[in-house]
Every structure is written in structure tokens, then in C-alpha cells.
Amino acid sequence: MAVLEGDPAINLAEVEARALGRLTPLARDYYASGATDEITLRWNREAYARIAVRPRALVDVSARDLSTTILGRRHPWSVIVAPTAFQRLAHPDGEAAVARAAAAAGVTMTLSTLASTSIEDVAAAAPGAPRWFQLYVFRDRALTAALVARAEAAGYEAIVLTVDAPLLGRRERDARNRFALPEGMTAANLADALARVSSDGRDSGLFQFFASQIDPGFTWADLATLCSSTRLPVLVKGVLRADDATRAIEAGARGVIVSNHGGRQLDTAIASIDALPEVVEAVAGRAPVLVDGGIRRGTDILKALALGADAVLLGRPILWGLVDGEAGVRHVLQLLHAEFDLAMALAGCASRAAVTRDLVVWPRG
């Protein structure tokens, strides 16, 4: 088993600070940056500070059940690893290390289309572990279909369709750094497509290719077609409005993820947690609703659940832990699990069912 060296961090803020000091400037800014003025990036964190908890007293919390069920699978607690690109920038083992750490914690991992390790290799790194695949829709629908087919064949349990990136947001730190992947690293799941582009004699730069291939014409009708073309449930990621949540479910989506892409797409977009309640109301129990963006404490998970989320997705903290490889990711998950368990007990909640809307005051201030 991988073991952390030295004095371990005691919270996710310490994990982040240590990671930022060790990553290359290029990798640090790629992971940490938001779009343009990074206002939404800040709002994602600040919004949780405006939500107050009203704990219940004299509840028997001597035994606590943190588990929840999503899409028919029991999860030991309400956390899923979010899709993040190019994890080998943080550690040579990259996505494989995250897969092993998530499996050890019983946590579902979501693999990015832009992973630096392939769909198949990640599946082989943690056989039998639950995992989802995040999908971008490309102009080349055959490429999109091939990615879905590979995920199905490799045992992934759901498709997470990102819908908030018809074009790529402008991240000025990356522009200033002239971000490019190091020699020997690429988008492993797109390797064949990149090779075809290169053989045609055209610009084979990864980001130019990716930006040119994202389909800005993808519509609700196309979503319905995608949902009907795969045996896997499709969750729509990037929903911030009640009407969009309703249309996603009507088109066949089996879940909705309230997300602003970690503040990396449209700056000044609403904080994810602020958008959550109206999406939950619109979905009205027809499908699971998840949320990402700004989760850093166990109390953040508690607040998200109280506002109606079935689970949260954890993104950047996984990357900060990954700087220490598999052991670092395990440590991040252990820290957050312990904080969530304590928050549940101190709030007077012995199970997920006890985390109800009256537990929080929102918005505050």
C-alpha cells in the first residue's frame, strides 16, 4: 500500500498549499485557474460560507450510516471523483493512481475524455471498481460513438455528458503560460484521432484539434439521440437552470450535475451551490441531482445534501492529493470522509435521510 512520507496535511487547504508549491508553474496554473477574472471560481467557495447549519440536539448519533444510492448502486458516502484532464501533470501514475485510490475508498471515479491515461488502462488499474466516463460531443459523431462504445466495453457504469463547453472558456493564466503538454503526454483517448490529423498534414496540436472538434451545434434533440444510443445511463453535467434540468430529464437523461465547470467556462456564472435548489425543485425526484464546485470541507457536503443534492463531485482536491500519488489521493478522501462523518454527527444526523432542507439557512447574508 502506498504511504505518505513526512508530516501529513490535516485538511484540504494544507494539501492544496503543499501541492501548489511542488507543481510546475504550467501544471499549477492549468489546474488552479478559472476563466478570465476568476470571479465564478471564487464564488464557488464563498457561496458555502453564506450557508449556515442549524444542528439538531439530543439525537442518537452513536452509529452513523453515510451511504446513499445513485443509479442503483450503493455508495458508502456521497462523494464521486469528478472528471479532470491530464492527471499525469500531477504525478506519473496519473489517472491510474486516482482509480486505485478511489477504489480503495469505495468511491466512483469519473474519467475525463481528456485523460492522459486511456479508458482501458484506467479500467485495468482498478478492476471491478465503479467508474463513470465523461464525454464531450465532437463534430465527428463517429469519434463520439467510439468513445461511448469503449466505455461500455471497459465496464464503465455511466456517461457524464458535459454540456457547458460548446466553446472553450478563456483561461488567461494558460494563455500567458502558452500551455502545452510535456513531451510524451497526450490525450490518450484521442490518440488515434490525433494520429489521423497528423497524417493528413494538418495542424496536429492537441488543443487546436480539440477546440475545433467540439460541436457547438449539439442540441436537446441530439441529447435524446445520445441517450437512446447507449445502454449506459447518461448524466448531464453543466446545468445551472431549472428549465434546462427539466429538458434534460425529458430528453432521457438519468441524472443532472449542477456545475459551472469549476469556474473555467463562463466567468460570473452563478455558483453551483446557489443554482442547486431550483434544479432540485425542477427535477422533483425523477432523477438524481449532483453538484460540484468548491467542495473543500465535510460541512460543504452536508450543506449540499441539505439543499437537495444526492452527492457531490470532488475535482481539484483530488489533483492536489495526486501530487503525492495514490497515497495522496487516499489521504484527501480520508480527510474529507472524516470531516463529513463528524459534521453529520454534530448536526444530529445519523443517516442520509436525516439531512433535510431545514438543516440549513440559505442564503445567508
Q: Which one of the listed residues 91, 261, 331, 337 is annotated catalytic?
A: 261
What does the radius of gyration of the chain's CA atoms come to, in whole angstroms? 20
- Residue the block writes with cell 435548489: 277
* Residues 6+ positions from 202 with CB-CB distance below 8 Å: none
Q: Which H helix or E strand runs over 117?
A: none
Distance CA 136, CA 275 (A): 23
Instruction: Count other Cβ atoms within 10 Å, centred on residue 297.
Output: 18
287 contacts 35 by C-beta, under 8 angstroms = no
163 contacts 236 by C-beta, under 8 angstroms = yes
Distance CA 352, CA 329 (A): 24
Q: Which three cell numbers stand for residue 177?
A: 503560460
Query: Considering only CA atoms, which of 132, 161, 316, 164 is closest in space to residue 239?
Result: 164
Distance CA 303, CA 312 (A): 10
Instruction: Count other Cβ atoms within 10 Å, centred on residue 237.
Output: 28
Q: Which H helix or E strand runs over 135?
A: strand 131-135
Helix (H, G, I), strand (E, B) or coil at 181: coil
Query: Distance between alpha carbon 235 and the CA centroid of its chain, in Å?
Result: 12
105 contacts 338 by C-beta, under 8 angstroms = no
Q: For residue 158, what are the CA distances in angstroms to 154, 164, 233, 347?
A: 11, 18, 5, 32
Let me know if 261 is a catalytic residue. Answer: yes
Could you give the residue numbers annotated as active site? 261
